[in-house]
Structure 1
């Protein structure tokens, strides 16, 4: 997952180390301060696990995105953009579509349910089996597919940059990333994320700026951008040679490939065109609306206005993100297309392409700014680790401890258990990070693809469950089990080489799985008993007449949710037009 870092060498000067140290001190002070503010008051469970439901919109949005960004963005996406081009930005820009559903439908719904965790909602709507299954999957996935790889990647980065022992680096990254999640709960984590986002955006844009300046050869940013576009069109020279060699692998059955288009053929390896609209339904709904470490920020907002405006703000960060984690890949392709000629297959090319970020830092970033970029990389790791630790601890505490072990536990006992759980999870994740350092990187890719197995079934069940009151727990549980099995079966079928070419992209596999799960859930519900009345109340299913969709949208034009959401949609359409029609 992070092969580049083992061989990348970035020399840090005193100014870089001082810059990084200042960031570490600042982020620690923020975590300590908000943890202290929590500790000096008689804390409730809501205070520790949901920040007392007091987060303002700018913290909600910052923390929402910071939890989402990690080393796979700064490392993996830039390397992928080096190979595939601008289409790597599709998952980021298409989030505006997903956020539209979140702002107008799911936020009013989630806040009205008044729950601590997503599994808690699934029990109320369906049955205890759904809660147990989803909570178990959440905990296992968070530790194996989020925490351990991210901590390992951060440790490997520190090892490469400073030359320290790898095991020590993994432990150091884990401890420094998780300590404030243990100390102050979600409030510490969320406010730390605000500084982290500022550093990540500033540092990331600095790399893009310096790269374009270099391409422009003293003629400015516009000249650099024009040169980047011309070379990525790959009409001549080594750029065309590199593209021609990889086109049959990227888009099987096609003779040409447009690196500057976000609208790609159905056979595209990573981002076929259905992803733009349908990705929300087969993975975005799970990731954005019922994935605990994302939705926890929404549940912690002051009120519905701050939750909605927070997601609007997150949308603008998503629109900006490709200029930080995608455009540098285009810049480096323009500079060094010969890297893609290093092998005849993508498997041979990826290790070199994945060095893009650190190569840009090494070759084009001056002293002092390297320390900021190191802080940005650490911030990406820290924010994800803290977010996943806090959310996983919340799930274990409320879906297992308070539910099965001590239903009448006091708030103090609940918070103590939450802190102990977070500590245990951190130690376990560090141990797994050390263990997986000796495994092949392909395993990490496989683990990440596991999400495509269970996200579509859960997305289908959640969507149908809130839209249609006839959906019952029997159908929901059958759907998630059979959908998971079907996803694995399709993966094996594709690996045999006998499946149609359009089914090879894992996103298309997820879409097919989701569609089948939708049908399965409906059919099983219709042939089994309907749910009980208390399982289909207005708090657990959408009632369009009673939902407060038009409320809490801002009292002035300049703080209007509708205005700023609408503008983000226009910008997204503009990007699609530019990188789908014009170029």
Structure 2
């Protein structure tokens, strides 16, 4: 009863904070879609982190830690690496060009056709992945914890999240995400502390005794084919070998962290270029934490409760919460799970409203007033939410939501990563190359996804048959897309020199050398320190 009251108070409280955060604001389109471009780096970074972490992460990373160990932490630490790329490589262009959406950047660099394609892909991604699957995963978790019907959970969470998102726009979203980041990190840290404190009660008093209870290599972050198989018989199918991590994940990260509207919209709303660049670095610092507060508890769960969890790794997180946390703290953890879910859904909902209003309606009807754009964004958000609710009821058709989401990303990311990366580094990239690459990569990605997704093809032809797991699929698709991009670029007329000067770097080194260093707070110094921290962590846990 106490836990339920805590969760109810949190739901009502976060809705009221979201609504009243914009009560006195003049709701122009810039305020609604970009928070008036007034976000500081702390809010940008916290919102980036919160919009990424969902209930799928809480449950999925604990389950992955239980099964294979810290190796799944690569998804978190490599995110830090791509956030550094966002900060140094892309954020300066995004801020200086004063864009409202990422598709708009593609139009400025390439052509309107590229903008239309990316807007369409971003809306589909938000609908099917960010909102739909997150709603279903969250509802399943709440059924396991509190016995609440899946459909009831979906409706309640959708309604409350929609109210403050539709009314308040990005300002309400980022303010609530900042609060939810604190709740999420706090809840996860509490669970980790209780898990560590439970070890002596099971006869484990040292690190050596702890390791002795684990599978070989369960505390390693990097693996070879042989070592990952020693941890899990199906480990090689996960594609988490060291070379797959370093080659494949950056492709997923370039799409997700550097060019996905749902995530990068917070950077577009930054107050200054410094805030736009330091915000991602702060998010990168936060992304170092989930390895210790989400994956590690799953590893500890293997030692403490493997008799209760058995082969169903998805029960690792619920068992840890129910077995270790007292009444009251379980309610706080429930609030943390809500924070993870609501922040992800709110981010995607706000971004789809922005995409529909700015990238579709405003282009079709340039005379649309500012007030009408806000109304269109609100209506679009409601429609997308209704569609996502309908789609979320199909979640039980997938054997693994976490696997499905990553495979969708591996299919979508390569062509988008290609046109964004070479767009800012290649002076020869043309508008024809961009649209041909996007379409070619999209078709190849869909084919790869269908061939390798068991509910569609019956088996994983590429992973099992050809021995190419999903992250290496992303890498090879990126290589293929890059070949297409440059072949078409050198077969078509050079792009406008004025466009190249405005939207590309002089050379790769200029992201570091351009401009004088301004002291320890210089973005390049901060990025270097964060990268050094990442290298040290990898050297310790490799």
TM-score (norm 1): 0.84
Partner of 1:362: 322
The farther-off stretch of 294-303 and 272-281 is: 272-281
Give distance in 1, aligned partners of 2:398 and 2:465: 27
Distance 1:378 1:335, change over 3 A: same
Partner of 1:379: 339
Give distance in 2, aligned partners of 1:432 and 1:487: 22
* Residue 138 of structure 1, CA deviation: 1.0
Q: 1:567 aligns with which of 496, 504, 529?
A: 529
Structure 1 segment 343-492 matched on structure 2, within 5 A: 349=311, 352-404=312-364, 406-434=365-393, 436-437=394-395, 439-442=397-400, 445-446=403-404, 448-490=406-448
Q: 2:24 aligns with which of 37, 60, 64?
A: 37
Q: What secondary structure is seen at the aligned counterpart in 2 of 1:407?
A: coil
Q: What secondary structure is seen at the aligned counterpart in 1 of 2:242?
A: coil
Partner of 1:4: none
Is the 1:215–1:224 Cα contact (8 Å) retained in structure 2? no
Partner of 2:253: 284
Q: Does 1:212 align with 2:199?
A: no
* Residue 468 of structure 1, CA deviation: 1.4
Distance 1:433 1:266, change over 3 A: closer
Partner of 2:84: 100
Structure 1 segment 2-401 matched on structure 2, within 5 A: 13-14=1-2, 16-38=3-25, 41=26, 43-217=27-201, 223=205, 227-234=209-216, 257=230, 267=236, 269-279=238-248, 281-338=250-307, 349=311, 352-401=312-361
Give distance in 1, aligned partners of 2:508 and 2:132: 45
* Residue 266 of structure 1, CA deviation: 11
Distance 1:255 1:476, change over 3 A: closer
Give distance in 2, aligned partners of 1:72 and 1:288: 17
Partner of 1:8: none
* Residue 102 of structure 1, CA deviation: 1.8
* Residue 124 of structure 1, CA deviation: 2.0
Distance 1:515 1:58, change over 3 A: same
Give distance in 1, aligned partners of 2:17 and 2:342: 13
Give distance in 2, aligned partners of 1:464 and 1:576: 28
Give distance in 2, aligned partners of 1:254 and 1:317: 29
Is the 1:252–1:268 Cα contact (8 Å) retained in structure 2? no
**Where in structure 2 are there 5+ consecutive unaligned residues?**
453-458
Partner of 1:529: 493
Give distance in 2, aligned partners of 1:554 and 1:418: 41
Give distance in 2, aligned partners of 1:48 and 1:546: 37
Is the 2:249–2:471 Cα contact (8 Å) retained in structure 1? no
Partner of 1:577: 539
Distance 1:255 1:289, change over 3 A: closer
* Residue 90 of structure 1, CA deviation: 0.6
Is the 2:411–2:446 Cα contact (8 Å) retained in structure 1? yes
Is the 2:47–2:174 Cα contact (8 Å) retained in structure 1? yes
Distance 1:500 1:184, change over 3 A: closer
* Residue 216 of structure 1, CA deviation: 2.4
Give distance in 2, aligned partners of 1:266 and 1:154: 26
Alignment coverage as a number of residue pairs: 532
Is the 2:64–2:298 Cα contact (8 Å) retained in structure 1? yes
* Residue 292 of structure 1, CA deviation: 0.3
Residue by residue over 1:135-167, the C-alpha shift from the partner in whole angstroms, topping out at 9 and shown as x without a partner, is 111111210122111112222333333333332
Give distance in 2, aligned partners of 1:443 and 1:200: 21
Give distance in 1, aligned partners of 2:332 and 2:206: 23
The farther-off stretch of 441-450 and 167-176 is: 441-450
* Residue 66 of structure 1, CA deviation: 0.4
* Residue 549 of structure 1, CA deviation: 6.1
The farther-off stretch of 489-498 and 458-467 is: 489-498
Distance 1:339 1:526, change over 3 A: farther
* Residue 290 of structure 1, CA deviation: 1.0
* Residue 197 of structure 1, CA deviation: 0.6
* Residue 497 of structure 1, CA deviation: 5.0
Is the 1:147–1:388 Cα contact (8 Å) retained in structure 2? yes
Is the 1:75–1:354 Cα contact (8 Å) retained in structure 2? yes
Is the 1:214–1:224 Cα contact (8 Å) retained in structure 2? no
Give distance in 1, aligned partners of 2:336 and 2:266: 21
Give distance in 2, aligned partners of 1:443 and 1:69: 15
Is the 1:145–1:448 Cα contact (8 Å) retained in structure 2? no
Distance 1:567 1:253, change over 3 A: closer
**Where in structure 1 are there 5+ consecutive unaligned residues?**
1-12, 240-249, 260-264, 343-348
Q: 1:541 aligns with which of 493, 498, 504?
A: 504
